[in-house]
Amino acid sequence: MSTAILTGQPVPGSSIEGDLRSLGFDVRVAADAADAERLVAEAPCDQRVALVDARFVGHVHALRLGLTDPRFSLAALPGAVTAQPDGRVTLTRVLARENSEGGGTAVAVDSLPDRIVTALAEDGAEVYRPELGSLVAAVPADPQARNEARQAVADVDDEAVRLKSAVKSRDGFFTTYFISPYSRYIARWCARRGLTPNQVTTASLLTALIAAACAATGTRGGFIAAGVLLIASFVLDCTDGQLARYSLQYSTLGAWLDATFDRAKEYAYYAGLALGAARGGDDVWALALGAMILQTCRHVVDFSFNEANHDATANTSPTAALSDKLDSVGWTVWVRRMIVLPIGERWAMIAVLTAVTTPRITFYVLLVGCAFAATYTTAGRVLRSLTRKAKRTDRAAQALADLADSGPLAELIVRFLPGPVRRTAPLSAAAGAVAVVLAAWAWGPAWQVVLLAGLYVLLSAEAVSHPLKGALDWLIPPFFRAAEYCTVLILAAKADVNGALPAAFGLVGAVAYHHYDTVYRIRGNAGAPPAWLVRAVGGHEGRTLLVTVLAALLTASQFTVALTVLAVAVALLVLVESIRFWVSAGAPAVHDEGEPA
């Protein structure tokens, strides 16, 4: 059990002890600073410890936000400071120093927790301070101030604030106005019954898989049920995050589930639609795979651009200034969020189209909408990159290199590419991608395509031969994703045999999972997947070359089997390593606070 140490005797009528116990703390009382230091040392080393001024007046939810969030080693709010096990050493050292300098004087003279927070900041320690908004957290100095603070607490309904804060600060129009107004109450219902965000996430996945199975029946009733269940899955998808924020139940396992299940649900639904269409005599596997490729490439554009500019200096541009001005006009905010087809709008559109039209029409509309959204967002980011004078950091360059997913072939070629830094890296990546994709389109399974794939390997190696700090170097990972995925799609389609496109769908899905896994590791500051895994799955250039060789060397039916075997091998490798990482104690707790595309 976590330990909360009250510094001083509680004021008569104070509810602080009961509030802390309601949050799961074992409450101890320290007579002075030296006693507080002793109690901190006696607290279990593997548990959280908190120092709270006994005069504290505030909302219970303010204490919850400041003292129970599992994502931060050190956290504080007025009159209170807390440390998780990995922050205990820092807290203990600062507390001992403060006592030594202050001579262990009575803590009633001033606020010991606030002094500790100031000392931690002076030492350069990162101390999380939650945004409290209208919530009250104060240490009144006299009876009049205490009465005023108590009145301020009474004037604000902290449960209403807690419900409101459970919803993301930035969400899409559909989510904000059609889901969150009631999903937050579902989240509270789940919290009061002891359900965890991971359980809700799993329920959302199961619901989406059932929706995909309904779509796979190919009947009108199945399509209608699939649309309804897809919306239900999205409601649960919103609820799990709101439950995590409502009850502050963040975890490494939850981070992995949250990071991967959204994509798994959507892409499984694409597969269900394709199966349903096939039952009706319509082959739309190429459209389903095209939708998955387009959506994945859109995400890579988002991830690469954000990582390239994560900590860039002088990170301003006229385009960004115009965007900020547009955000100040209320209606433009929603229009701009809607036209990029974020997950809420996209799933609603897919659900409605599934219920009232056919899978082919659903995919046509989805492809057109996502293509427009991708063009809009990418064009805006290219303009920002060209007009800003940002200096990118080594961290950003390394993140882009990790997102590029270059394998052993590129590593080997880079060793023989000395020379000055070239500013043509995006052009090299784009030229290689266009060459191999157009070759696959023109010749299909042929050795000419293998030659162009070899050129792609050379150009992709040249593109990553120097640190990716150029204005448009963030485009390199999306170029690589488009080249690999589209080559697989085209060669499978050119094989013109049953099973080739579903096998290609499986291969692209497995590789895409590997790329999403890389993104969320980087977001959690845990680095890319281990080098052995990247080498084992060949890197983007190795897989692309291998697929072209298999297509040229094997018959169409043999090529289908080869794609299936490759998909299973890649999936096993990346899933086993990913699961090992995300369920380990050292995995980062990454949770999106903005609605992803």
DSSP secondary structure, 541-582, as one string: HHHHHHHHHHHHHS-HHHHHHHHHHHHHHHHHHHHHHHHHHH
Sign of the dihedral defined by the CA atoms of residues 316, 317, 320, 326, in that order: positive
Residue 112 to residue 109: CA distance in whole angstroms: 9
What's the burial of 10, exposed, middle or buried (CB within 10 Å: 0-12/13-18/19+)?
middle
Q: Which of 126, 160, 149 is nearest to 78 (CA)?
A: 149
Residue 167 DSSP one-character state:
S
List, for residues 197-217, the tens digit of each pLDDT value: 999 999 999 999 999 999 999
Local confidence band at 40 (pLDDT 50, 70, 90 cut-offs): very high
List, for residues 136-164, the tens digit of each pLDDT value: 999 998 899 999 999 999 999 999 999 99
Higher local confidence (pLDDT), 491 or 312? 491
Query: Across residues 82-100, what is the average pLDDT?
Result: 91
User: How far is CA 27 from its chain centroid?
Assistant: 36
Q: Which of 112, 228, 244, 135 is nearest to 188 (CA)?
A: 244
The conformational region for residue 341 under phi > 0 = left, psi -120 to 50 = alpha, else beta, is left
Contact present, 513 and 578 (Cβ < 8 Å) = yes
Which pLDDT score, from 0 to 100, does residue 328 have? Answer: 57
List, for residues 331-372, the tens digit of each pLDDT value: 677 887 888 999 999 999 999 999 999 999 999 999 999 999
Mean pLDDT over each residue of the chain, to the nearest integer: 91
| Per-range mean pLDDT, top range of 67-71, 390-394, 463-467, 537-541 | 537-541
Checking if the pLDDT of 107 tops 50, the result is: no
Q: What are phi and psi of 417, to 5 degrees?
A: -120, 65
Which pLDDT score, from 0 to 100, does residue 595 have? Answer: 45
List, for residues 41-77, the tens digit of each pLDDT value: 999 988 999 999 999 999 999 999 999 999 899 999 9
DSSP, residue by residue, 276-308? HHHHTT---HHHHHHHHHHHHHHHHHHHHHHHH
Residue 281 to residue 496: CA distance in whole angstroms: 16
- The amino acid that residue 147 corresponds to is N
Query: Across residues 420-427, what is the average pLDDT?
Result: 79
Residue 570 to residue 352: CA distance in whole angstroms: 34
The conformational region for residue 212 under phi > 0 = left, psi -120 to 50 = alpha, else beta, is alpha
Q: Across-strand partners of 27? A: 4
Local confidence band at 325 (pLDDT 50, 70, 90 cut-offs): low
Query: Across residues 465-483, what is the average pLDDT?
Result: 95
What's the burial of 433, exposed, middle or buried (CB within 10 Å: 0-12/13-18/19+)?
buried
The secondary structure of the chain in percent helix, strand, coil, rounded to multiples of 5, reads 70, 5, 25
Local confidence band at 172 (pLDDT 50, 70, 90 cut-offs): confident
Q: Across-strand partners of 81? A: 51, 76
Which pLDDT score, from 0 to 100, does residue 106 have? Answer: 45
Local confidence band at 413 (pLDDT 50, 70, 90 cut-offs): very high
Which pLDDT score, from 0 to 100, does residue 322 have? Answer: 54
Ranking 217-231, 324-338, 414-428, 510-524 by mean pLDDT, the lowest is 324-338
Local confidence band at 587 (pLDDT 50, 70, 90 cut-offs): confident
List, for residues 254-306, the tens digit of each pLDDT value: 877 877 898 999 999 999 999 999 999 999 999 999 999 999 999 999 999 99
Which pLDDT score, from 0 to 100, does residue 315 have? Answer: 53
Checking if the pLDDT of 109 tops 90, the result is: no
- The amino acid that residue 523 corresponds to is R
Ranking 37-46, 280-289, 313-322, 407-416 by mean pLDDT, the lowest is 313-322
* End-to-end Cα separation, the chain, in angstroms: 40
Residue 357 to residue 355: CA distance in whole angstroms: 6
Helix (H, G, I), strand (E, B) or coil at 169: coil
Tokens of 596: 């992803």
Which pLDDT score, from 0 to 100, does residue 516 have? Answer: 94
Query: Across residues 516-540, what is the average pLDDT?
Result: 92
Which pLDDT score, from 0 to 100, does residue 100 have? Answer: 82
Global pTM value: 0.91
Contact present, 99 and 33 (Cβ < 8 Å) = yes
Contact present, 321 and 388 (Cβ < 8 Å) = no
Q: Say what percent of the chain tops pLDDT 90.
A: 76
Checking if the pLDDT of 477 tops 80, the result is: yes
CA distances to 11, 54, 265, 575, 597 from 82, rounded to whole Å, are 21, 15, 38, 36, 36
Higher local confidence (pLDDT), 325 or 33? 33
